[in-house]
Amino acid sequence: MRTVWVLGDQLNRSIGALADADPDRDRVLLVESHAKLTSKRWHRQRAHLVLAAMRRFADELRSAGFDVDHRRAASLRAGFREHVDEYAPGTVVATEPASWSGRELLRDLDVGLVRSNQFLCHYDEFDAWAADRRTLKMEDFYRWQRRRLGYLMDGDEPIGGRWNFDDENREPPPGPDHPGWPDPPRSRLDDVDREVLADLPSECWGAEPDGTWATSRRAALARLRHFVDHVLPVFGPHEDAMTTRSWHLAHSVLSPYLNIGLLLPGEVCDAVQDAFDAGDVPIASAEGFIRQVIGWREYVWGVYWRWMPEYRSANELGADRSLPPLFTGADTAMRCVAHTLQGVRDRAYAHHIQRLMVLGNLALLSGTDPWEMTDWMWSSFVDGAEWVMLPNVIGMSLHADGGRMASKPYAAGGNYIDTMSDYCGDCRFDRRARTGDDACPFTTLYWDFLARHHDRFVENARVARQVRAAERLGDLDAVRERAAEVLDLLDRGEL
Ligand code: SF4
C-alpha cells in the first residue's frame, strides 16, 4: 500500500496528495510530534487548534474508509520511521510542506512530494511573476492575481472601475451609536477537546479554549457562511480601526482555518464573489476582502519561499534588544499594548493593525531582535506559521530586510494610534508629549527612532519629511534622554 503523510496544516481532503487518495490503495499517516509541541512556548489555543483539528480529521478520514495511522512520536522523523517499520509501505507521498524546514525534512526522508494546491499561486508561479522585476510590489502582484483568477473582473478590467478601495476602508473606530459587529459563532467543547487539553505540555500559556476557534472542517465552513452572510456586507470601512468595544470588528477571523487547511482560499473567495454577484455586498467590502486573500496572503507566501532561508536571519537595522518582558506576562500601563496583549492572552488573536501598529511598532521603535519577535508571534497567535510570520514581522513590521518587502518602516507615534483607536483617552500617558514622565512611549520612541536611523531613511521619499522634522526638533536631546529611560523601563518590565 501507499502511505499518504498528512501534516498538521494540510487538513483537507482536497489538498495535494490526498486529492486522489483511495481507501483501497492508500493508508494515511498523521504524526503528533512531541519535539514540535515543545519547541516553543505555544499559546494553549494554538496548540489545541492544531491537535484537535488533526484528531478530528483522522476521524473524518476513518469515516471515509481510510486506514489511518495517527501516532504520537518523539519527532516527525521518528514518527515516520516507526510507521515505515510497522507498515512497510510501497511508497510514501505527501503534499509539499508549508515550511522550509518541513520541505527539507521530507526531501531528506525521500518522501515523494505532490505539488501543493493550498494557495492559489504556487511559489513556482510567484517566482515566474517575480523574475526580472526590480521591486516586488504587492499591488502589482494583486492585480496580476485578479486578472488570472478572474475575481471581481469585467473582462480585463476591475469591476467598479478601480482596483483599490483602500481609501474607503480606513475609517477610525465609530462612536458609541454604532451597532457593533456580529460575533463569530462558537463551538461547544467536547471529549476530543478535553483529551487534547489534557495532553498539552505545561509550558503552554494563555487562556483555555472557549469554543471561539473551530477545529473541524464542518465548523470552519459554518464560520465562513456566517462571515459571508452577516459580516462581509459591513467589512471594510473599519478594517484598520482598533477599539476596546470589539475584538473582531468586521474581520473575518478565518485565517486560522485557511492556515491549517480547514478552508481553502479558492472556496473562500468564491463565496465572496457569489455574495457580490447576488448584490448582497458592496464592491469596497468584496474588494477589500479579496485583496487580503489573493493579494496579501499569497504575496507573503510567495516572498517567504523566494527569500528563504537567509530571510530568517535578516536584521538590517541591527536590532538586538531582547524581547521585552511585557510580551511574556509583565504588566504595562500603555493602554494600547495592554489591551492588545490581553486579547492575545484571551484568544491568541489580535487583528492586523494591532499586530502591525501596536505590537510590531513597539518592537520596531525599541529595536527588538527580529527573530525573537517573529518567534513570539508565531507561537502566540492562533493563525501563526513561519511562512506568515517571517515576512510580516521581519519585512513588514520590523523593516529588518532593509526594505525588500515594505518601502518604508511602519513606525508611528501616539498620534496615529489615537486616530485609529479609542485607547489613548484613558491611558496614563499623554500621546502628544515626547518628553517627561507622562510622555507617550510611542511618541518618544518614534522621534528617537527617526533620529537614530537618520542616515538610513533621510533619502527615503516616504519618510524623509519626518526624518528631517526629527532633525529639527528643538528638544531632541531631551527626547533621546527620555527614550533611554523608556527603553530601560521596557527592559525591566516596568513601563
Ligand atoms: Fe498607547 Fe501612547 Fe495612546 Fe497610551 S497614549 S494608549 S501608550 S499610544
Q: Which H or E run contains 398?
A: none
Looking up residue 475, the CATH number of its domain turns out to be 1.10.579.10
For residue 487, what are the contacts with CB-CB under 8 A and spacing of at least 6?
321, 366, 367, 445
Average the pLDDT over 326-354 and give the result.
96
Q: How far is the CA of 191 from the centre of ligand 1 (A)?
A: 43
335 lines ligand 1 (CB under 6 A): yes
Looking at the structure, do residues 351 and 461 belong to the same domain, yes or no?
A: yes
Atom of ligand 1 nearest to the CA of 337: 1
Residues 266 and 322 in one domain: no
- 262 and 344 fall within a common domain: no
Who has greater pLDDT, 241 or 297? 297
Q: Is there an atom of ligand 1 within 6 Å of 416 CB? A: no
Task: Indicate which residue's Cα is closest to atom 3 of ligand 1.
Answer: 424
Examine the domain organization and report whether 20 and 108 are in the same domain.
Answer: yes
Same domain, 290 and 364: no
Q: Do 146 and 153 contact (CB within 8 A), yes or no? A: yes
The predicted-structure confidence for 101-159, as pLDDT tens digits, reads as follows 999 999 999 999 999 999 999 999 999 999 989 889 999 999 999 999 999 999 999 99
Q: Is 336 in the pocket of ligand 1 (CB under 6 A)?
A: yes
Residue 372 and residue 296 share a domain: no
* Nearest CA residue ID for atom 1, ligand 1: 336
| Together in a domain, 303 and 318 | no
In eight-state DSSP terms, residue 207 is P
The answer to whether residue 355 scores a pLDDT higher than 90 is: yes
Return the C-alpha cell found at 288: 477589500
Closest-lying ligand 1 atom to the alpha carbon of residue 427? 4
Residue of 244, 424, 432, 489 to mutate, ligand 1, most atoms within 8 A of C-beta: 424
CA-nearest residue for atom 7, ligand 1, is: 334
Cell 464542518 found at:
218
Our measurement of the distance from residue 471's CA atom to the centroid of its chain's CA atoms, rounded to an integer in Å, reads: 35
482596483: which residue's cell? 163
C-alpha 442, offset from chain centre: 23
Q: Ligand 1 in contact with 120 (CB < 6 A)?
A: no
CATH number of the domain within which 100 lies: 3.40.50.620
CATH number at residue 226: 1.25.40.80
Average pLDDT of span 15-26: 96
**Residues 392 and 450 both lie in one domain:** yes
Average pLDDT over residues 464-488: 95
**Can you tell me the mean pLDDT for 19-41?**
96
Cα separation, 437 vs 163, in Å, equals 46
Over 90: is that where the pLDDT of 170 sits?
A: no
User: Residue 441: CB within 6 Å of ligand 1?
Assistant: yes
* Average pLDDT along the chain: 95
Determine the Cα–Cα distance for residues 163 and 165; give it in Å rounded to an integer: 7
Q: Which residues constitute the domain of residue 184?
A: 123-307
419 with 319, same domain: the answer is yes
For the chain, what is the domain count?
3
Q: Which of 463, 351, 454 is nearest to 412 (CA)?
A: 463
pLDDT digits (tens, 9 = 90+) for 403-447: 999 889 999 999 999 999 999 999 999 999 999 999 999 999 999
